[in-house]
Structure 1
Amino acid sequence: MSSLNFYQHVHGLFNALLAPLYAGSVVEFMPKFSVRGIWQRWRESYPRKETKVDDAITVFTGVPTMYTRLIQGYEAMDPELQAISALAAGQLRLMMCGSSALPLPIMQQWEAITGHRLLERYGMTEFVMAISNPLRGVRKGGTVGKPLPGVQVKILAEDGSDDDKSGVGELCVKSPSLFKGYWKLPTVTEESFIDGGFFKTGDAVRVDEDGYYIILGRTNADIMKAGGYKLSALEIEAVLLEHPVISECCILGLPDRDYGEAVCAIVVPDAEVKRKMEEELKPALSLEELSTWAKEKLAPYKLPTRLLLWESLPRNAMGKVNKKDLQRKLAADVQ
């Protein structure tokens, strides 16, 4: 087995490097993330149907942004190259996704192209992996699966009480791999645990009817309060990504005098649509157009009331948008 690896944090170190090495596989590093290079490596691994070379890549793991870029690269290919590339990618044994929530439209697009339903799971540096969709069994899109064997979880309600498993609250984890504490930070360590030795993850979750956990986002960045309603930015983002004009998007709560927070959508339009609309001296998307389209898919209080069109979203090395920094900068501009 050979796997591709690009990044070094808990996802990269444990899932993409140490676990494969422990299993006796070969891990192949690339100098940097390259859409063209990855598709080419897969095509080289599987030159024909049901045929693979000796050093073929069999497992791939990446963050959601990587899959978004790979989809964009696939869409830019000519039909013949698309067919060859999709056939090659479909012959890998396993593809996984982690580090941040995978938008359902991206999962669905990837499955339509490659036939792979990405295996999504949930972990943190403090305890490595805790929740996962199954290797064999039903992988539910929009969820991170169920707790792994030996892992205990609780959902902490906003008032600090243990909520029932059908509720919404902060995910708390206790597992054999849970860390002891933060180095030389006893106060932070104490504040990070609740009774029973459960670690507060800082992620808001809910559980669906089948017991699969759904990540709603970071409690300090992805959960907004608008007009008395508690909203998940990730839920709104997943819906907006279905819009044909939207290539990428980010939802933030910005200060609002009347509602506490206003739902602000930062959108990166599809490059081809943007080019055509610029020729007509029109924006790629207006707030009115977005609201009209989204009102059939979102409750009225979840609809964005502000829209920003950007060339790209600022992302860190793991492909994540630092929403807290972005929120502070935009909030200062609003005031």
Structure 2
Amino acid sequence: MKVLITGGAGFIGSAVMRKAVARGHGVINLDALTYAACLENVASVEHDPLYHFEHADIRNRAALDRILVQHQPDIIMHLAAESHVDRSIDGPSDFIETNVTGTFNLLEAARAYWVGKDRPASFRFHHISTDEVFGSLPQNPEQRFTETTSYDPRSPYSASKAASDHLVRAWHETYGLPVVLTNCSNNYGPYHFPEKLIPLTIINAIEGKPLPIYGDGSNIRDWLFVEDHAEALLLVAEKGALGRTYAIGGENERTNLELVHSLCAILDQMRPKVSGHYMDQIEFVPDRPGHDARYSIDPSRIRNELGWRPSVTVEEGLKKTVDWYLTNEDWWRKLLSRHDVSKRLGVSS
């Protein structure tokens, strides 16, 4: 099987890339190498004959056509996206151009390629999305997102991803393009870009900086270890029912404050401070505009139909993640100088 992965130098894309190569699949990494991409994420496979890199932007239709014809993939896994909510608040246009227009270009290139090959039954377009398209849940453990939850995006980021989801479904219904879709909960793990909550907390903690918590820290997220997510994505790409959506969650809900407390406790064990505790560095800051209260996914469909379930608890995953950042300081230090990585974003309304 040959898989083209857009955004393969990013956090989730690189995890899928490494796992696919390890399983003997040919992979094409199509990435524009914007600020959050890092080719070091795929350094372990870059010299493998199964791996090929294409420096290209999904907004460039001609480049997409060339790459598809040249590499002849069996599956397209579309992960390339602008994904940071705070950045979308300050600069929404990049999110519309990449997540909406870029997805449209990729769908049209995929359709032309699929039709040109006489519509092979083995071809699939797998669109990877987020649970943020469903909006915000009340703090009621009985309510969770499912594949039939109505869309209610609240940020420019989630609105752009909702639009891309609708495009993919429309291309399936109108043109018969063979698609599968997935919506995931918050990912975490090795190679997570330093501006996101978990790596930012780890890095700020060991550098003696404040650990910022939005609002009162009561916002709840369902945390999914990135390697578990990569496993699920490859499973859906190969065996998911065409036209079907699969919600992928870690079944590990934590408030942001609970999560930061856990990270501080792990750091106290792995790299104790000379005096005091990392929790002393917590600082509450003004909340993000339109901050969703809670996300939670019911992954029953993927569990019942495809046999997937998360293998890593949040406690295990956080320990693995902290250990990775402590032993890979060279990786994240190089990224801290990139555009606005250390700056508080998303404060405008």
TM-score tier after normalising by the smaller chain length: 0.3 to 0.5
The structure where helix makes up a greater share of residues is: 2
Question: Which one scores higher on RCO, CA 8 angstroms, separation ≥ 6?
Answer: 2
Please give the TM-score of this superposition, normalised by the length of structure 2.
Answer: 0.37
Please give the TM-score of this superposition, normalised by the length of structure 1.
Answer: 0.38
